[in-house]
Amino acid sequence: MNRRNFLTCAALLGGSAVASDCSSLQPTNKRPERKKQTPSRELQTEVVIIGGGLGGCAAALACCRNGMRVIMTEETDWIGGQVSQQGVPPDEHQWIETHGAPQSYRDFRNRVRDYYRRNYPMTNDARTRQNLNPGDGSVSRICHEPRVAVSVLTEMLAPYVSSGALLILTDYRIENAEVNGDRVCSVQVRNIHTGDPIVLIGNTFVDATECGDLLPLTGTEYVTGTESKNDTGELHAPEKADPKNLQAFTVCFAMDYQPEKDHVRDPPKGYNFWKKYVPTLTPAWPGRLLDLSYSTLQPRKVEFDPSGKNLEGLFNLWNYRRIIHRKNFVEGNYVGDITIVNWPQNDFLLGNLIDVPKKVFDENIEKAKQLSHALFYWLQTEAPRLDGGAGWRGLRLRGDIMGTHDGMAKYPYIRESRRIRAKFTVLEEHVGTENRILVAGEEKGKQAADFYDSIGIGFYAIDLHPSTGGINYINIPSLPFQIPLGALLPIRMNNLLPANKNIGTTHITNGCYRLHPVEWSIGEAVGQLIAFAQKANVPFRAVRERPELLSDFQQMLHRQGIETKWDR
Protein backbone atom coordinates (compact mmCIF):
# COMPACT_ATOMS: atom_id res chain seq x y z
CA MET A 1 0.00 0.00 0.00
CA ASN A 2 1.33 3.42 -0.89
CA ARG A 3 2.02 5.45 2.26
CA ARG A 4 0.20 8.44 0.76
CA ASN A 5 -3.04 6.48 0.86
CA PHE A 6 -3.11 6.55 4.63
CA LEU A 7 -5.62 9.00 6.02
CA THR A 8 -4.14 11.08 8.80
CA CYS A 9 -5.08 14.07 10.80
CA ALA A 10 -3.37 16.31 8.27
CA ALA A 11 -4.24 19.53 10.03
CA LEU A 12 -2.43 18.29 13.12
CA LEU A 13 0.39 16.23 11.66
CA GLY A 14 1.01 17.95 8.37
CA GLY A 15 1.42 14.75 6.36
CA SER A 16 0.96 11.02 6.15
CA ALA A 17 2.36 8.14 8.15
CA VAL A 18 4.46 5.21 7.07
CA ALA A 19 2.68 1.93 6.45
CA SER A 20 2.98 -0.68 9.19
CA ASP A 21 3.39 -4.44 8.99
CA CYS A 22 0.36 -4.94 11.23
CA SER A 23 -2.39 -6.66 9.29
CA SER A 24 -4.98 -4.83 11.35
CA LEU A 25 -3.67 -1.47 10.18
CA GLN A 26 -5.87 -0.46 7.27
CA PRO A 27 -6.80 2.90 5.73
CA THR A 28 -9.00 4.73 8.16
CA ASN A 29 -12.04 4.66 5.86
CA LYS A 30 -11.79 0.87 5.48
CA ARG A 31 -11.10 -0.13 9.08
CA PRO A 32 -13.56 -2.63 10.58
CA GLU A 33 -15.99 -0.98 12.95
CA ARG A 34 -14.76 -1.06 16.54
CA LYS A 35 -17.14 -2.22 19.22
CA LYS A 36 -16.65 0.52 21.78
CA GLN A 37 -19.04 2.39 23.98
CA THR A 38 -17.38 5.69 23.12
CA PRO A 39 -16.35 6.36 19.52
CA SER A 40 -12.59 6.83 19.21
CA ARG A 41 -10.78 9.28 17.02
CA GLU A 42 -7.82 7.82 15.18
CA LEU A 43 -4.53 9.57 14.59
CA GLN A 44 -1.76 8.07 12.56
CA THR A 45 1.93 8.84 12.45
CA GLU A 46 5.37 7.25 12.21
CA VAL A 47 6.39 7.26 15.88
CA VAL A 48 4.11 7.15 18.94
CA ILE A 49 5.79 8.11 22.22
CA ILE A 50 3.83 7.39 25.38
CA GLY A 51 5.18 9.55 28.19
CA GLY A 52 6.41 13.13 28.05
CA GLY A 53 9.23 12.92 30.60
CA LEU A 54 12.87 13.65 29.87
CA GLY A 55 13.30 10.42 27.91
CA GLY A 56 10.14 11.03 25.91
CA CYS A 57 11.07 14.63 25.12
CA ALA A 58 14.61 13.64 24.10
CA ALA A 59 13.25 10.88 21.86
CA ALA A 60 10.80 13.30 20.25
CA LEU A 61 13.53 15.87 19.63
CA ALA A 62 15.83 13.27 18.07
CA CYS A 63 13.08 11.81 15.88
CA CYS A 64 11.90 15.19 14.64
CA ARG A 65 15.45 16.46 14.08
CA ASN A 66 15.92 13.47 11.78
CA GLY A 67 12.77 13.98 9.76
CA MET A 68 10.32 11.71 11.57
CA ARG A 69 6.70 12.51 12.43
CA VAL A 70 5.76 11.97 16.05
CA ILE A 71 2.83 11.96 18.46
CA MET A 72 3.84 12.23 22.12
CA THR A 73 1.34 11.81 24.95
CA GLU A 74 1.68 12.86 28.57
CA GLU A 75 -0.52 11.87 31.51
CA THR A 76 -0.29 15.25 33.25
CA ASP A 77 -0.49 18.75 31.80
CA TRP A 78 3.29 19.26 32.16
CA ILE A 79 5.98 17.65 30.05
CA GLY A 80 9.37 17.05 31.68
CA GLY A 81 8.77 14.10 34.02
CA GLN A 82 11.03 14.03 37.04
CA VAL A 83 12.41 17.55 36.45
CA SER A 84 8.95 19.17 36.33
CA GLN A 85 5.77 17.25 37.21
CA GLN A 86 7.65 15.31 39.91
CA GLY A 87 9.58 18.30 41.22
CA VAL A 88 13.08 16.82 41.30
CA PRO A 89 16.01 19.11 40.42
CA PRO A 90 18.56 17.32 38.21
CA ASP A 91 20.74 14.70 39.90
CA GLU A 92 23.96 14.76 37.90
CA HIS A 93 27.64 13.83 37.96
CA GLN A 94 30.47 16.27 38.54
CA TRP A 95 31.58 16.54 34.89
CA ILE A 96 28.16 17.43 33.50
CA GLU A 97 29.06 20.97 32.40
CA THR A 98 31.49 19.72 29.74
CA HIS A 99 30.85 16.05 28.98
CA GLY A 100 29.12 12.86 30.05
CA ALA A 101 25.71 13.63 28.50
CA PRO A 102 24.33 14.43 25.03
CA GLN A 103 24.85 17.91 23.66
CA SER A 104 21.05 18.29 23.53
CA TYR A 105 20.89 17.76 27.32
CA ARG A 106 23.52 20.41 27.92
CA ASP A 107 21.58 22.66 25.55
CA PHE A 108 18.54 22.16 27.80
CA ARG A 109 20.56 23.11 30.87
CA ASN A 110 22.00 26.22 29.22
CA ARG A 111 18.54 27.25 28.04
CA VAL A 112 17.33 27.03 31.65
CA ARG A 113 20.05 29.47 32.66
CA ASP A 114 19.26 31.77 29.77
CA TYR A 115 15.56 31.69 30.70
CA TYR A 116 16.39 33.12 34.12
CA ARG A 117 18.74 35.71 32.65
CA ARG A 118 16.11 36.88 30.15
CA ASN A 119 13.07 36.90 32.39
CA TYR A 120 14.07 37.32 36.05
CA PRO A 121 15.38 40.35 37.97
CA MET A 122 18.76 38.83 38.76
CA THR A 123 21.72 40.47 40.42
CA ASN A 124 24.60 41.37 38.12
CA ASP A 125 26.76 38.75 39.81
CA ALA A 126 24.23 35.98 39.22
CA ARG A 127 23.38 37.07 35.66
CA THR A 128 27.02 36.99 34.56
CA ARG A 129 27.86 33.74 36.34
CA GLN A 130 28.73 31.21 33.62
CA ASN A 131 27.34 28.19 35.45
CA LEU A 132 24.39 29.91 37.06
CA ASN A 133 22.59 27.81 39.66
CA PRO A 134 19.30 29.68 40.38
CA GLY A 135 18.72 27.96 43.69
CA ASP A 136 22.33 27.23 44.67
CA GLY A 137 21.00 23.90 45.91
CA SER A 138 23.70 21.44 46.91
CA VAL A 139 22.16 18.47 45.10
CA SER A 140 22.69 19.92 41.62
CA ARG A 141 24.61 22.55 39.70
CA ILE A 142 21.32 23.74 38.21
CA CYS A 143 18.53 23.66 40.78
CA HIS A 144 15.58 25.43 39.18
CA GLU A 145 11.81 25.71 39.21
CA PRO A 146 9.66 23.00 37.60
CA ARG A 147 7.75 25.58 35.53
CA VAL A 148 10.98 26.80 33.96
CA ALA A 149 11.81 23.26 32.86
CA VAL A 150 8.37 23.01 31.23
CA SER A 151 8.86 26.33 29.44
CA VAL A 152 12.31 25.41 28.16
CA LEU A 153 11.27 21.97 26.92
CA THR A 154 8.22 23.48 25.24
CA GLU A 155 10.49 26.03 23.56
CA MET A 156 12.84 23.31 22.32
CA LEU A 157 9.95 21.32 20.83
CA ALA A 158 8.06 24.34 19.47
CA PRO A 159 9.54 24.40 15.93
CA TYR A 160 8.45 20.81 15.34
CA VAL A 161 4.98 21.44 16.72
CA SER A 162 4.68 24.47 14.45
CA SER A 163 5.78 22.55 11.35
CA GLY A 164 3.36 19.71 12.04
CA ALA A 165 6.09 17.13 12.67
CA LEU A 166 5.11 16.78 16.33
CA LEU A 167 1.77 16.60 18.11
CA ILE A 168 1.81 16.67 21.93
CA LEU A 169 -1.27 15.35 23.73
CA THR A 170 -1.20 16.30 27.41
CA ASP A 171 -3.66 14.94 29.98
CA TYR A 172 -3.88 11.62 28.12
CA ARG A 173 -3.36 8.30 29.91
CA ILE A 174 -2.51 5.04 28.14
CA GLU A 175 -5.42 2.60 28.36
CA ASN A 176 -4.85 -0.41 26.10
CA ALA A 177 -2.99 -1.62 23.03
CA GLU A 178 -3.61 -3.63 19.89
CA VAL A 179 -0.86 -6.15 19.15
CA ASN A 180 -0.29 -8.49 16.24
CA GLY A 181 2.31 -11.11 17.13
CA ASP A 182 5.55 -9.33 17.90
CA ARG A 183 4.39 -5.89 16.79
CA VAL A 184 2.33 -3.19 18.40
CA CYS A 185 -0.24 -1.90 15.92
CA SER A 186 -1.99 0.82 17.92
CA VAL A 187 -2.58 2.11 21.41
CA GLN A 188 -5.58 3.81 22.92
CA VAL A 189 -5.18 6.79 25.22
CA ARG A 190 -7.94 8.59 27.08
CA ASN A 191 -8.24 12.16 28.26
CA ILE A 192 -8.25 12.16 32.06
CA HIS A 193 -10.72 15.08 32.21
CA THR A 194 -13.20 14.49 29.39
CA GLY A 195 -12.89 10.72 29.02
CA ASP A 196 -12.46 11.10 25.25
CA PRO A 197 -10.44 8.23 23.73
CA ILE A 198 -7.98 8.45 20.86
CA VAL A 199 -6.47 5.50 18.99
CA LEU A 200 -2.87 6.18 17.95
CA ILE A 201 -1.55 4.18 15.02
CA GLY A 202 2.14 4.07 14.18
CA ASN A 203 5.13 2.10 13.03
CA THR A 204 7.18 2.41 16.19
CA PHE A 205 6.03 2.78 19.79
CA VAL A 206 8.19 4.19 22.56
CA ASP A 207 7.42 3.49 26.21
CA ALA A 208 8.65 6.61 27.97
CA THR A 209 6.19 6.29 30.88
CA GLU A 210 7.41 6.56 34.45
CA CYS A 211 6.31 3.04 35.38
CA GLY A 212 6.74 1.18 32.09
CA ASP A 213 2.97 1.16 31.57
CA LEU A 214 3.11 0.10 27.93
CA LEU A 215 4.89 -3.17 28.72
CA PRO A 216 2.02 -5.15 30.30
CA LEU A 217 -0.52 -3.70 27.86
CA THR A 218 1.48 -4.96 24.87
CA GLY A 219 2.57 -8.28 26.37
CA THR A 220 6.20 -7.17 26.32
CA GLU A 221 8.25 -9.35 28.66
CA TYR A 222 9.46 -7.48 31.73
CA VAL A 223 10.74 -7.87 35.27
CA THR A 224 10.10 -5.96 38.49
CA GLY A 225 11.72 -5.71 41.87
CA THR A 226 14.76 -7.57 43.09
CA GLU A 227 16.54 -10.38 41.26
CA SER A 228 18.32 -13.07 43.27
CA LYS A 229 22.05 -13.72 43.39
CA ASN A 230 21.32 -16.93 41.51
CA ASP A 231 19.58 -14.92 38.76
CA THR A 232 22.30 -12.36 38.16
CA GLY A 233 25.42 -13.33 40.10
CA GLU A 234 25.60 -9.77 41.43
CA LEU A 235 27.69 -9.18 44.51
CA HIS A 236 24.97 -7.29 46.40
CA ALA A 237 21.93 -9.20 45.14
CA PRO A 238 19.92 -11.02 47.83
CA GLU A 239 19.66 -14.79 47.98
CA LYS A 240 15.96 -14.69 47.14
CA ALA A 241 14.23 -12.71 44.39
CA ASP A 242 11.31 -10.46 45.30
CA PRO A 243 9.34 -8.90 42.40
CA LYS A 244 7.46 -6.66 44.87
CA ASN A 245 10.58 -5.19 46.47
CA LEU A 246 10.90 -1.79 44.79
CA GLN A 247 12.49 1.47 45.83
CA ALA A 248 10.13 3.81 47.62
CA PHE A 249 8.43 6.53 45.62
CA THR A 250 8.05 10.08 46.91
CA VAL A 251 5.49 12.85 46.54
CA CYS A 252 7.61 16.01 46.57
CA PHE A 253 6.47 19.49 47.55
CA ALA A 254 7.78 23.05 47.46
CA MET A 255 7.80 25.54 50.32
CA ASP A 256 9.13 28.92 51.31
CA TYR A 257 9.43 30.74 54.64
CA GLN A 258 7.86 33.98 55.80
CA PRO A 259 9.32 34.61 59.27
CA GLU A 260 6.69 37.17 60.29
CA LYS A 261 3.71 35.00 59.31
CA ASP A 262 1.92 32.04 60.88
CA HIS A 263 0.76 29.56 58.25
CA VAL A 264 -0.08 26.71 60.61
CA ARG A 265 -3.53 25.19 60.08
CA ASP A 266 -5.21 22.06 61.44
CA PRO A 267 -3.12 18.87 61.45
CA PRO A 268 -3.43 17.02 58.11
CA LYS A 269 -5.21 13.69 57.77
CA GLY A 270 -3.08 10.84 59.09
CA TYR A 271 -0.75 13.09 61.06
CA ASN A 272 -0.93 11.09 64.28
CA PHE A 273 -0.01 7.92 62.40
CA TRP A 274 2.98 9.42 60.61
CA LYS A 275 4.17 11.30 63.69
CA LYS A 276 4.64 7.97 65.48
CA TYR A 277 5.65 5.84 62.50
CA VAL A 278 8.95 3.96 62.78
CA PRO A 279 10.12 2.29 59.55
CA THR A 280 10.74 -1.45 59.77
CA LEU A 281 13.90 -1.83 57.74
CA THR A 282 17.12 -3.83 57.59
CA PRO A 283 19.54 -2.41 58.69
CA ALA A 284 17.35 -0.70 61.29
CA TRP A 285 16.16 2.89 60.96
CA PRO A 286 17.37 4.88 64.01
CA GLY A 287 13.93 6.03 65.16
CA ARG A 288 10.81 7.77 63.92
CA LEU A 289 10.55 8.70 60.26
CA LEU A 290 9.63 12.32 61.10
CA ASP A 291 12.90 13.32 62.68
CA LEU A 292 16.15 15.00 61.72
CA SER A 293 18.01 11.77 62.35
CA TYR A 294 17.71 9.13 59.69
CA SER A 295 19.64 6.26 58.21
CA THR A 296 21.38 6.05 54.87
CA LEU A 297 24.50 3.88 55.04
CA GLN A 298 24.67 4.77 58.73
CA PRO A 299 22.61 6.88 61.12
CA ARG A 300 22.95 10.56 60.23
CA LYS A 301 22.05 13.74 62.04
CA VAL A 302 21.07 16.78 59.99
CA GLU A 303 19.60 20.17 60.74
CA PHE A 304 16.89 22.34 59.25
CA ASP A 305 16.93 26.13 59.13
CA PRO A 306 14.86 27.97 56.48
CA SER A 307 17.04 31.05 56.78
CA GLY A 308 19.39 29.15 54.46
CA LYS A 309 22.46 29.89 56.56
CA ASN A 310 25.40 27.49 56.72
CA LEU A 311 25.29 25.74 60.06
CA GLU A 312 28.94 25.40 61.03
CA GLY A 313 29.56 22.20 59.13
CA LEU A 314 26.14 20.69 59.80
CA PHE A 315 24.05 19.65 56.79
CA ASN A 316 21.09 22.02 56.38
CA LEU A 317 18.25 20.21 54.62
CA TRP A 318 16.76 23.53 53.53
CA ASN A 319 19.68 24.12 51.15
CA TYR A 320 19.71 20.61 49.72
CA ARG A 321 17.12 21.03 46.93
CA ARG A 322 16.72 24.81 47.09
CA ILE A 323 15.44 26.03 43.69
CA ILE A 324 15.36 29.80 44.39
CA HIS A 325 18.13 31.47 46.36
CA ARG A 326 16.89 34.98 47.06
CA LYS A 327 20.45 36.37 47.00
CA ASN A 328 20.65 35.62 43.26
CA PHE A 329 17.81 38.08 42.63
CA VAL A 330 17.38 41.81 43.09
CA GLU A 331 16.53 42.58 46.69
CA GLY A 332 12.83 42.78 47.42
CA ASN A 333 11.68 40.23 44.85
CA TYR A 334 11.74 37.25 47.23
CA VAL A 335 10.93 37.33 50.93
CA GLY A 336 12.85 34.08 51.31
CA ASP A 337 14.23 31.13 49.43
CA ILE A 338 12.13 28.37 47.87
CA THR A 339 13.09 24.75 48.37
CA ILE A 340 11.75 21.37 47.30
CA VAL A 341 11.32 18.54 49.78
CA ASN A 342 12.48 15.19 48.47
CA TRP A 343 14.07 13.77 51.58
CA PRO A 344 14.33 10.36 53.28
CA GLN A 345 11.51 11.52 55.56
CA ASN A 346 8.90 11.49 52.79
CA ASP A 347 9.89 8.29 51.01
CA PHE A 348 6.72 6.15 51.02
CA LEU A 349 7.46 2.59 52.16
CA LEU A 350 4.01 1.11 52.68
CA GLY A 351 2.99 0.23 49.13
CA ASN A 352 3.89 -0.01 45.45
CA LEU A 353 2.64 1.56 42.24
CA ILE A 354 3.78 -1.28 39.97
CA ASP A 355 1.43 -4.11 39.01
CA VAL A 356 -1.26 -3.21 41.52
CA PRO A 357 -4.97 -2.57 40.85
CA LYS A 358 -5.87 1.00 39.91
CA LYS A 359 -7.66 1.46 43.24
CA VAL A 360 -4.54 0.47 45.17
CA PHE A 361 -2.38 2.68 42.92
CA ASP A 362 -4.54 5.72 43.72
CA GLU A 363 -4.76 4.87 47.43
CA ASN A 364 -0.97 4.58 47.75
CA ILE A 365 -0.45 7.95 46.08
CA GLU A 366 -3.00 9.49 48.44
CA LYS A 367 -1.23 7.96 51.46
CA ALA A 368 2.11 9.24 50.18
CA LYS A 369 0.60 12.73 49.92
CA GLN A 370 -0.60 12.41 53.51
CA LEU A 371 2.96 11.57 54.54
CA SER A 372 4.32 14.65 52.77
CA HIS A 373 1.61 16.86 54.31
CA ALA A 374 2.48 15.36 57.70
CA LEU A 375 6.16 16.10 57.22
CA PHE A 376 5.36 19.69 56.29
CA TYR A 377 3.14 20.15 59.37
CA TRP A 378 5.83 18.58 61.57
CA LEU A 379 8.37 21.07 60.19
CA GLN A 380 5.97 23.91 60.98
CA THR A 381 5.18 22.80 64.53
CA GLU A 382 7.61 20.26 65.99
CA ALA A 383 10.94 20.19 64.14
CA PRO A 384 13.72 20.85 66.68
CA ARG A 385 15.55 24.16 66.27
CA LEU A 386 19.14 24.95 67.12
CA ASP A 387 17.91 27.80 69.36
CA GLY A 388 15.99 25.29 71.49
CA GLY A 389 12.58 26.05 70.03
CA ALA A 390 10.33 23.81 67.97
CA GLY A 391 8.88 24.32 64.52
CA TRP A 392 8.90 27.08 61.92
CA ARG A 393 5.36 28.44 61.74
CA GLY A 394 6.15 30.73 58.81
CA LEU A 395 6.70 27.83 56.43
CA ARG A 396 4.28 27.98 53.51
CA LEU A 397 3.38 25.38 50.91
CA ARG A 398 3.97 26.66 47.37
CA GLY A 399 1.45 24.84 45.23
CA ASP A 400 1.85 27.54 42.62
CA ILE A 401 5.44 26.43 42.15
CA MET A 402 4.32 22.82 41.65
CA GLY A 403 1.27 23.73 39.55
CA THR A 404 -1.22 22.20 42.00
CA HIS A 405 -3.86 23.30 44.50
CA ASP A 406 -2.74 21.02 47.32
CA GLY A 407 0.93 22.02 47.24
CA MET A 408 2.11 18.56 46.23
CA ALA A 409 3.82 17.60 42.95
CA LYS A 410 1.58 16.64 40.04
CA TYR A 411 2.99 13.11 39.93
CA PRO A 412 5.01 10.98 42.37
CA TYR A 413 8.75 10.71 41.90
CA ILE A 414 9.27 7.19 40.57
CA ARG A 415 12.66 5.63 41.21
CA GLU A 416 12.01 2.15 39.89
CA SER A 417 9.91 1.02 36.94
CA ARG A 418 9.05 -2.19 35.16
CA ARG A 419 12.14 -3.18 33.17
CA ILE A 420 12.13 -4.90 29.80
CA ARG A 421 13.64 -8.34 29.41
CA ALA A 422 16.33 -7.13 27.06
CA LYS A 423 18.76 -8.62 24.58
CA PHE A 424 21.42 -7.54 27.08
CA THR A 425 21.05 -6.71 30.77
CA VAL A 426 23.44 -4.41 32.61
CA LEU A 427 24.68 -6.13 35.78
CA GLU A 428 26.54 -4.90 38.83
CA GLU A 429 29.68 -6.60 37.48
CA HIS A 430 29.62 -4.15 34.56
CA VAL A 431 29.47 -0.91 36.57
CA GLY A 432 29.86 -1.56 40.33
CA THR A 433 33.40 -0.89 41.58
CA GLU A 434 33.65 -3.84 44.01
CA ASN A 435 31.89 -6.35 41.77
CA ARG A 436 33.91 -5.13 38.79
CA ILE A 437 37.20 -5.81 40.58
CA LEU A 438 36.07 -9.32 41.51
CA VAL A 439 35.14 -10.10 37.90
CA ALA A 440 37.77 -8.20 35.91
CA GLY A 441 40.64 -7.93 38.36
CA GLU A 442 42.19 -5.00 40.20
CA GLU A 443 43.52 -3.20 37.13
CA LYS A 444 40.49 -3.57 34.81
CA GLY A 445 38.22 -2.91 37.77
CA LYS A 446 39.24 0.73 37.61
CA GLN A 447 36.83 1.31 34.73
CA ALA A 448 33.37 0.09 33.85
CA ALA A 449 32.77 -2.57 31.21
CA ASP A 450 33.46 -1.51 27.63
CA PHE A 451 30.34 -2.23 25.58
CA TYR A 452 30.96 -2.64 21.83
CA ASP A 453 27.41 -1.41 21.21
CA SER A 454 27.59 1.70 23.41
CA ILE A 455 25.08 4.41 22.48
CA GLY A 456 25.73 6.82 25.34
CA ILE A 457 27.49 7.36 28.65
CA GLY A 458 26.57 8.36 32.19
CA PHE A 459 27.63 8.26 35.79
CA TYR A 460 26.04 8.09 39.21
CA ALA A 461 26.54 5.96 42.29
CA ILE A 462 24.32 2.89 42.60
CA ASP A 463 21.89 4.70 44.86
CA LEU A 464 18.99 2.58 46.13
CA HIS A 465 16.50 4.20 48.49
CA PRO A 466 14.68 2.19 51.17
CA SER A 467 12.38 -0.32 49.58
CA THR A 468 8.90 -1.66 50.06
CA GLY A 469 10.46 -5.03 50.88
CA GLY A 470 12.00 -3.61 54.06
CA ILE A 471 15.56 -3.04 52.84
CA ASN A 472 17.24 0.16 54.01
CA TYR A 473 19.49 2.37 51.89
CA ILE A 474 22.03 0.66 49.65
CA ASN A 475 24.76 2.84 48.18
CA ILE A 476 27.33 1.03 46.07
CA PRO A 477 30.33 2.79 44.49
CA SER A 478 30.22 2.69 40.70
CA LEU A 479 32.31 3.76 37.74
CA PRO A 480 31.58 6.07 34.78
CA PHE A 481 29.63 3.75 32.51
CA GLN A 482 28.33 3.23 29.00
CA ILE A 483 24.75 2.57 27.88
CA PRO A 484 24.61 -0.54 25.67
CA LEU A 485 22.23 -0.69 22.74
CA GLY A 486 21.34 -4.25 23.75
CA ALA A 487 19.70 -2.92 26.93
CA LEU A 488 17.24 -0.95 24.76
CA LEU A 489 16.09 -3.93 22.70
CA PRO A 490 13.28 -6.18 24.01
CA ILE A 491 13.94 -9.89 23.58
CA ARG A 492 10.88 -10.36 21.37
CA MET A 493 8.90 -7.25 20.47
CA ASN A 494 10.04 -5.71 17.19
CA ASN A 495 8.65 -2.17 17.18
CA LEU A 496 8.58 -1.15 20.85
CA LEU A 497 11.50 0.61 22.54
CA PRO A 498 11.99 1.86 26.14
CA ALA A 499 12.97 5.45 26.90
CA ASN A 500 12.89 5.85 30.66
CA LYS A 501 13.91 3.71 33.65
CA ASN A 502 12.49 0.65 31.87
CA ILE A 503 15.61 -0.46 30.00
CA GLY A 504 17.47 -3.74 30.58
CA THR A 505 18.98 -3.14 34.00
CA THR A 506 18.59 -5.02 37.28
CA HIS A 507 17.16 -3.71 40.54
CA ILE A 508 20.74 -2.87 41.52
CA THR A 509 21.99 -1.23 38.31
CA ASN A 510 18.75 0.71 37.95
CA GLY A 511 20.16 2.67 40.89
CA CYS A 512 22.72 4.40 38.64
CA TYR A 513 20.85 4.37 35.30
CA ARG A 514 17.72 6.16 36.57
CA LEU A 515 18.86 9.79 36.85
CA HIS A 516 18.06 12.80 34.66
CA PRO A 517 20.97 12.89 32.16
CA VAL A 518 20.94 9.12 31.63
CA GLU A 519 17.21 9.08 30.97
CA TRP A 520 17.73 11.87 28.43
CA SER A 521 20.61 9.92 26.86
CA ILE A 522 18.40 6.86 26.47
CA GLY A 523 15.63 8.88 24.82
CA GLU A 524 18.07 10.65 22.49
CA ALA A 525 19.57 7.32 21.37
CA VAL A 526 16.13 5.76 20.89
CA GLY A 527 15.00 8.62 18.66
CA GLN A 528 18.11 8.40 16.53
CA LEU A 529 17.84 4.59 16.34
CA ILE A 530 14.29 4.86 14.97
CA ALA A 531 15.38 7.32 12.29
CA PHE A 532 18.51 5.33 11.37
CA ALA A 533 16.68 2.00 11.12
CA GLN A 534 13.97 3.47 8.94
CA LYS A 535 16.47 5.05 6.57
CA ALA A 536 18.47 1.81 6.36
CA ASN A 537 15.23 -0.20 6.11
CA VAL A 538 16.37 -2.71 8.74
CA PRO A 539 14.95 -3.97 12.06
CA PHE A 540 16.31 -2.39 15.23
CA ARG A 541 18.11 -5.61 16.21
CA ALA A 542 20.03 -5.66 12.92
CA VAL A 543 21.72 -2.39 13.89
CA ARG A 544 23.34 -4.18 16.82
CA GLU A 545 23.95 -7.48 15.07
CA ARG A 546 25.62 -6.17 11.91
CA PRO A 547 28.98 -4.45 12.60
CA GLU A 548 28.80 -2.14 9.57
CA LEU A 549 25.36 -0.89 10.61
CA LEU A 550 26.41 -0.44 14.22
CA SER A 551 29.46 1.55 13.15
CA ASP A 552 27.35 3.79 10.93
CA PHE A 553 24.81 4.30 13.72
CA GLN A 554 27.47 5.20 16.28
CA GLN A 555 28.92 7.71 13.82
CA MET A 556 25.46 9.23 13.47
CA LEU A 557 25.26 9.50 17.27
CA HIS A 558 28.64 11.23 17.39
CA ARG A 559 27.67 13.70 14.69
CA GLN A 560 24.57 14.65 16.68
CA GLY A 561 26.37 15.23 19.95
CA ILE A 562 26.35 11.88 21.75
CA GLU A 563 29.50 10.51 23.40
CA THR A 564 29.76 6.73 23.47
CA LYS A 565 33.01 6.38 25.44
CA TRP A 566 34.48 8.14 28.44
CA ASP A 567 37.85 9.82 28.11
CA ARG A 568 39.74 7.64 30.54
Q: What is the pLDDT of residues 499-530, one digit of tens each?
A: 999 999 999 999 999 999 999 999 999 999 99
CATH architecture, range 1-26+40-242+416-426+485-561: 3-Layer(bba) Sandwich (3.50)
**What is the reported pLDDT for 85?**
98
Average pLDDT for 63-83? 98
- Binning pLDDT at 50, 70 and 90, where does residue 235 land? very high
Alpha carbon 434 to its chain's center:
27
Q: Give the Cβ contact number of residue 536 at 10 Å.
A: 14
The number of helix segments (H) and strand segments (E) in the chain equals 16, 23
Residue 32 — very low, low, confident or very high, per pLDDT cuts 50/70/90?
Answer: very low
Note the residue count of the chain: 568
Closest CA to 424 of 364, 307, 504, 324: 504
pLDDT band for position 299 (50/70/90)? low
DSSP H or E segment with residue 524:
helix 516-536
Query: Given strand 41-44, what is the order of strands in its sheet?
Result: 41-44, 197-201, 183-191, 172-180
Q: Is 232 exposed, middle or buried (0-12, 13-18, 19+ CB in 10 A)?
A: buried
Res. 333: pLDDT tops 70: yes
Q: What pLDDT does 298 receive?
A: 66
| Bridge partners for 497 per DSSP | 206
Res 21: pLDDT: 47
More confident residue, 21 or 205: 205
pLDDT given for residue 13 in this prediction: 40
12: pLDDT strictly greater than 60: no
- Calculate mean pLDDT across residues 173-192: 98
Q: What integer pLDDT is reported at residue 28 of this predicted model?
A: 32
* Range list for CATH 3.50.50.60 in the chain: 1-26+40-242+416-426+485-561
Residue 428 binned pLDDT confidence (cut-offs 50, 70, 90): very high
Please report the pLDDT score of residue 45 as a whole number: 98
Query: At residue 267, does pLDDT exceed 80?
Result: yes
Provide the pairing of β-strand 462-464 with 474-476: antiparallel
Confidence of residue 297 (pLDDT cuts 50, 70, 90): low
Of 18-22, 176-180, 485-489, the poorest mean pLDDT is in 18-22
**Cα–Cα nearest to 557, from 526, 536, 534:** 526
Q: In which band, very low, low, confident or very high, does the pLDDT at 230 lie, cut at 50, 70 and 90?
A: very high
**Cα–Cα distance measured from residue 205 to residue 445, given in angstroms and rounded to the nearest whole number:** 37
**pTM of the predicted model as reported, rounded to 2 decimal places:** 0.93
What pLDDT score does 38 carry?
63
Q: Quick one: 15 exposed, middle or buried, by C-beta within 10 A (0-12, 13-18, 19+)?
A: middle
Q: Rounded mean pLDDT of 358-377?
A: 98
* 17 pLDDT more than 50: no
Q: Which helix (H) or strand (E) holds 430?
A: helix 428-431
- Is 314 or 221 the better-scoring residue by pLDDT? 221
Q: What is the pLDDT of residues 104-138, one digit of tens each?
A: 999 999 999 999 999 999 999 999 999 999 999 99
295 pLDDT more than 90 = no
Which has the higher per-residue pLDDT, 21 or 84? 84
- 300 burial class (0-12, 13-18, 19+ CB within 10 angstroms)? middle
Average pLDDT, the chain: 92
